[in-house]
Every structure is written in structure tokens, then in C-alpha cells.
Amino acid sequence: MVDQETVIFTLFAAVPIIVIMALSGAYGKYVNILVIIIALIGLALLLALAFADFLIVPYFMNLFGLKVQPAKDFTTNRQQNAIIKQSNGIYYTIGYLTANLYSYTFKQELSEEDTYQKIINSPLIWENIISSVKVPFRYNIVSFAENVQKVREALEAQRGLKESQLTKLMQASKTEFSSAVADLQRAINIIQRKIDRISAGEKPVRTIMYIEVFGAGVNEKAALDDLEYNIDQVRSAFASFDIEINRVAGRELFVLFEFGFFLPSSYSDIEQLFSKEE
């Protein structure tokens, strides 16, 4: 699910393209077909930029051979998925991988037993990963506690809404709604479990998790090849943690590069840097 801001920006930016398509008749008998084709291509590119800019922007940067220097001595590669630094004749590279862990325990509906098992096994799994990886990397968690009262109120509001929907469905008492009733009851249970955990003293937390992988070589190509090899090693080592690891490319590469030195001072600053997805 995509945030409202992206939809609004996309619609606004698409207005000229939509107007061109609507007024295509004004361009002449055969020209209008060409104009519609060009407008459709433009619209496709705009949608790709809005919802997959991490693919589109690096592709065009690579196509035109463009690189970016985010700070002195640091540049990106053409694919915009690695940072390169030269120091004393040696080239160093940094690649970034996303690796979100917390969401799967908090969002999924797991039984208490399953959660307990996952928690007691996680330190062992982590040590197995560390002992099996022979390449340098840094696992990062950018975290901050949320306001307990606000989160609790939001959860109670959600629960109230689901309960009123459930009441309406049960009053209708038709058999075709039985699966919808079951879904709502499950959703209410998940929300209630979260409220119970907050009541028991757990603080809600927002996290951004990512892995920095490092490479080095005598020239840029050797360093980038070393980085690719190291990334593959880290990916296969973390496979046992049952998380999805994605290579970061494009604008989010610059954000994580900045995080390497300085963090934003509040969550609202961080929110503006990433595309929001629920």
C-alpha cells in the first residue's frame, strides 16, 4: 500500500500528460496517434519513477554514465548501488542491504510459544551467522521509541473500529459473511495482543535495519567485484534468519551513506527521506 503523498504528487505531475492525451485531437489527423503513443510512454515512465525509482533512476544514470559525489573523496558507481572511496592508492567500496527483522515478530500472528522459540533461538542464530561470515560487514539498527500513550490510543481506536464492523456483520447474520467475521476477529486479536504487550511494559519502537558490506581492491573494478562477492556471502549467511534482504540503490543509498556519519534529529526528518509503505 502506497502513501497518499506519492499518489497526490503523481497525479499532479501527470496532469500535463493527461491533458495532452485528452487534447490529442487538436494535433491533426495522424499526428494525434503519435502524440497519444508518446504520452502513454511518458505516463508509464512517470508511474515507474513514482513507484520504482530505485530501478528507473539508476538505470538512466548508468545509461548516461553519470556518477554522483555525495561528499569529498566519495563517489557512487554508475549503477548507483555502491559508494566508492579512494585512499592511499586503494579503492574501498560500501554496499547497503535492507534487512528488517522486527516487523515479522510484531506484525505476524504468532502463538506465544512460537514467539518464545524465536526469541530464545535468535542469539544462537546470530552467533552462527557471525561465525560463518568471513567478510567485513556492519549490521545497523536505527531505532527510536514511540510515544506509548499515542500508540496505545491509535491501537484502541483501530480495535474500536474493527469491533463496530464486527458487530454490524454479526447483526446481519448471513452465512456468506462468516469468513469476513473470522478475519475481523483475527484482526481484533492481533490488535489486542499489541495492546497487552504495551500494557505489560513493552515500549513500541520504530526501526530501520540495514547492513553495510565492505569491499576493497587496487582499482575500482576490483573493489566493486570484491563488494559483490562479499554481499553474496552476507546474503547467504543471513538466509537462516528468514528475512528478505534487498540491495539498496538510488536515492536511499545517499540516505544510508549519510546515516553512516550523522543521524536525523527526529522521526519526522527520517520519514521525509524514505517512501512510506505500510
Partner 1 sequence: MAEMVQKGSLIFFMVFWAVSIGFLVLSISIPKGQIYTIPLELIAVIIAILFAILAYGTRFHSPIIIEFLNQRKKLIVLNNDYPYYIYPSNDAIVRKLSSEYVATVIIKLPMYRSATEMSEEERYTFAKNIGRALTLSDKPVRFASQLYYMNNESYISVIREQLNKAETELLSLQQQNVPQEKIEKAKGQLAMWRNILSAVSSSNAMQLDSVVYVSAKGVRDYEAVAYAQQRAREIISGIGAIFGVIPTIVTGQDIIKYIEPEGVITEAIVTEKIKKEISD
**Contact set for partner 1, span 137-176 (CB under 8 A):** 137-147
Between residue 87 and residue 106, which ones bind partner 1 under the rule CB under 8 A?
87-88, 90, 92-94
How far is it, in rounded angstroms, from Cα 249 to Cα 35? Answer: 33
Between residue 187 and residue 216, which ones bind partner 1 under the rule CB under 8 A?
202-205, 207, 214-216
Between residue 37 and residue 56, which ones bind partner 1 under the rule CB under 8 A?
38-39, 42, 45-46, 49-50, 53
User: Would you say 104 or 177 has its CB closer to partner 1?
Assistant: 104
Size of the site for partner 1 (CB under 8 A): 96
105 is written with which cell numbers?
515478530
Which residues pair with residue 86 across a beta bridge?
91
| Residue range at the interface with partner 1 (CB under 8 A); choices 85-93, 155-163, 167-175, 177-185 | 85-93
Q: What are phi and psi of 116, to 5 degrees?
A: -60, -45
137 alpha-carbon distance from chain centroid: 20
Q: Residue 24 in 3-state DSSP?
A: helix
User: Would you say 174 or 262 has its CB closer to partner 1?
Assistant: 262
1 within 8 A of 51, measured Cβ to Cβ: no
- Applying CB under 8 A, does 270 fall inside the site for partner 1? yes
Closest CA to 259 of 175, 143, 171: 143
* Segment (H or E) for 216: strand 205-217
- For partner 1, which residue of 65, 113, 149, 200 counts as binding (CB under 8 A)? 65
- For partner 1, which residue of 1, 4, 63, 72 counts as binding (CB under 8 A)? 72
